[in-house]
């Protein structure tokens, strides 16, 4: 018999994408081989997100699609947030599923798979009360230049719209030595950009005797030789501390970008969301960022149509967009999530109204971004080149601010630029990207 093969499909956020990289690393270490289609695979896994969309529906429809093949000895598994949220209900709705495992239990994957091989029909890993973080000796990375590094998992906040505390469990910080070892190994392997990941990175607390806080960790990571850019996501405004801005000012390796989700511009809505800050407190932190010695790009997440959001509340969110002048905004219609406190609030809005508000907000932000991006025309920016787009004949890269830059090269330049840092002269700007030419 040949090697066991697996197929893994991932839905959702960067944490999920990185979890999948770790799952792949774990399975490769177990002797599995990764294949590109479910048809070729012995083991078919879906790593799912349930933060917003009705992801569970998407997963069930995928499972349905391949149901007929289950008889042919294939093993189906559901991982991630939907697994954690739906638990054993998945077996009822999709009886051919053999494995249901949430992210807090991924360390047990080899054991769970061995039990299936030994003949068990259904196995689960659904514990949330773990102190472990998921570390794998071998992690395969999807991007050859930028690597994700988890520093904290789970979340102890109680934002009333959010399912994460139920799907990813309590906050667990990873020991600093382990983070530093991974970062040094990545730098030695040629990675120049690191993105530190966690639901709430700013509440990082080193559990080892060194006792580093997030700022110390940032400073230490940024000093690792070979690294050119260090990013981090996501920070909660409540713990976002002025020292983070100082650290960025002092070390140019810390990228010129902060993602600070605000969710709403209305104090009344922020209160109902239990975000633990007011608009004014949030704006004070934005001022720290804006008054830094080096310009720092600011992005955010916004939810429109939260239960009870009035037209006036919504207008306050729109005015916040003007006041801050974000470089990019991820905006979403409120979506009711299982177990969350917001489900029981009154004033749920019809979907069309949420859609209307979302469209207005996105159009406004598009104009803001176009204006902000246009200020870069005529300037030269440094980009980390990621890929070549044969369709447009342009290279694609990102600035330290995380802006996408599409650019062309003079005829003479034939060698691959991927992975290199180059200077680009910006000649055009759109709402979502800049365009230009390789600078001499």
Contact footprint for ligand SF4 (CB under 6 A): 155, 157, 159, 162, 164-165, 199-200, 236
Per DSSP, the three-state class of 384 is strand
DSSP-assigned letter for residue 90: H
Sheet bearing 229-233, strands edge to edge = 146-150, 193-197, 229-233
200 contact, one of ligand 5AD, ligand SF4, none, CB 5-8 Å limit per kind: ligand SF4
366 binds ligand 5AD (CB under 6 A): no
Which one of 83, 245, 303, 349 is in contact with ligand 5AD (CB under 6 A)?
Answer: 303
Other residues' Cβ atoms within 10 Å of the Cβ of residue 323: 13
239 binds, among ligand 5AD, ligand SF4, none (CB under 5 to 8 A by kind): none
H/E stretch holding 241 reads: none
For ligand SF4, which is the closer residue by CB, 168 or 398?
A: 168
For residues 83-102, which are near ligand 5AD according to CB under 6 A? none
Closer to ligand SF4 by CB, 165 or 305: give it: 165
Q: Output the CA–CA distances (angstroms, integers) from residue 367 to 109, 249, 263, 316, 410, in the order listed.
A: 47, 29, 20, 18, 32
What is the closest distance, in whole angstroms, from the C-beta atom of residue 115 to ligand SF4 in the complex?
Answer: 31
From the list ligand SF4, ligand 5AD, none, pick the one residue 301 interacts with, judged by a Cβ distance below 5 to 8 Å according to partner type: ligand 5AD
327 and 369 Cβ atoms separated by less than 8 Å: yes
Among positions 28, 35, 52, 372, the unique one binding ligand 5AD when judged by CB under 6 A: 52
- Nearer residue to ligand SF4 within complex by CB, 164 or 349: 164
Helices and strands in the chain, H and E counts = 13, 19
Q: How far is the CB of 263 from ligand SF4 (least distance, A)?
A: 7
Within residues 251-280, the interface with ligand 5AD by CB under 6 A covers: 261, 263
Options 75, 82, 162, 244; binder of ligand 5AD; rule CB under 6 A = 162
Helical pair 279-290 and 242-250, crossing angle rounded to 10 deg: 10
Q: What are the C-alpha distances in Å from 123 to residues 31, 115, 276?
A: 20, 8, 39
Shortest reach from residue 338's CB to ligand SF4, in Å: 14
Q: Does 334 sit near ligand 5AD (CB under 6 A)? A: yes
CB under 6 A: which stretch of 4-12, 333-341, 378-386, 389-397 binds ligand 5AD? 333-341
Question: What's the CA gap between 186 and 147, in Å, rounded?
Answer: 8
- Using the minimum distance from each CB to ligand SF4, give the nearer residue, 270 or 384: 270
Cis peptide bond N-terminal to 333, omega within 30: no
C-alpha gyration radius of the chain: 23
Angstrom distance (rounded) from CA 224 to CA 253: 10
Q: Which is nearer to ligand SF4, 159 or 368 (CB)?
A: 159
Chosen from ligand 5AD, ligand SF4, none, partner binding at 332 (C-beta under 5 to 8 Å by type): ligand 5AD
- Residue with Cβ nearer ligand 5AD (125 or 261): 261
Concatenated DSSP letters of 53-89: S-HHHHHHHHHHHTGGGGGGT-EEEEEHHHHHHHTTH
Binds 52: which of ligand SF4, ligand 5AD, none (CB < 5-8 Å by kind): ligand 5AD
Residue numbers of the site for ligand 5AD (CB under 6 A)? Answer: 51-52, 161-162, 261, 263, 301, 303, 332, 334-335, 337
């Amino acid at each position: 018999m040949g090697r066991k093969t697996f197929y893994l499909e991932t839905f959702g956020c960067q944490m999920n994408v990185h979890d999948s990289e770790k799952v792949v690393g774990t399975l490769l270490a177990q002797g599995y081989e990764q294949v590109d289609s479910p048809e070729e695979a012995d083991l078919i896994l879906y790593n799912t997100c349930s933060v917003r969309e009705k992801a569970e529906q998407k997963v069930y429809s995928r499972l349905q699609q391949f149901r007929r093949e289950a008889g042919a000895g294939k093993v189906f598994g559901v991982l991630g947030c939907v697994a954690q949220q739906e638990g054993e209900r998945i077996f009822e709705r999709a009886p051919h599923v053999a494995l249901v495992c949430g992210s807090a239990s991924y360390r047990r994957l080899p054991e769970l798979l061995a039990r299936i091989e030994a003949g068990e029909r259904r196995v689960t890993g659904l514990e949330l009360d773990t102190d472990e973080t998921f570390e794998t000796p071998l992690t395969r990375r999807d991007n050859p230049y930028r690597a994700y590094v988890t520093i904290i998992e789970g979340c102890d906040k109680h934002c009333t719209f959010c399912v994460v505390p139920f799907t990813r469990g309590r906050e667990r910080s990873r020991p600093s030595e382990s983070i530093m070892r991974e970062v040094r190994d990545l730098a030695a392997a040629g990675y120049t950009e690191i993105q530190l990941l966690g639901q709430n990175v700013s509440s990082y607390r080193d559990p080892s005797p060194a006792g580093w806080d997030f700022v110390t960790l940032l400073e230490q990571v940024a000093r690792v030789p070979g690294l050119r850019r260090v990013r981090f996501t996501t920070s909660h405004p409540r713990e976002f501390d002025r020292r983070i801005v100082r650290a960025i000012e002092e070390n140019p390796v810390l990228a010129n970008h902060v993602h600070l989700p605000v969710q709403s511009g209305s104090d009344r809505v922020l209160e109902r969301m239990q975000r633990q800050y007011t608009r004014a407190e949030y704006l004070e932190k934005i001022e720290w960022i804006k008054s830094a010695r080096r310009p720092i790009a600011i992005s955010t997440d916004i939810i429109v149509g939260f239960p009870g959001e009035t037209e006036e509340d919504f207008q306050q969110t729109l005015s916040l967009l003007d006041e801050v002048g974000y470089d990019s905004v991820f905006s979403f219609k409120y979506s009711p999530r299982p177990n969350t406190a917001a489900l029981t609030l009154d004033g749920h809005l019809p979907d069309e109204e949420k859609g209307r508000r979302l469209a207005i907000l996105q159009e406004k932000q598009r104009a803001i971004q176009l204006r902000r991006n246009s200020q870069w025309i005529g300037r030269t920016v440094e980009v980390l080149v990621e890929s070549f787009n044969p369709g447009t004949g342009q290279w694609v890269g990102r600035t330290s601010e995380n802006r996408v830059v599409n650019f062309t090269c003079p005829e003479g330049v034939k060698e691959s630029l991927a992975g290199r840092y180059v200077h680009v002269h910006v000649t055009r700007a759109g709402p979502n990207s800049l365009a230009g030419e390789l600078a001499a």
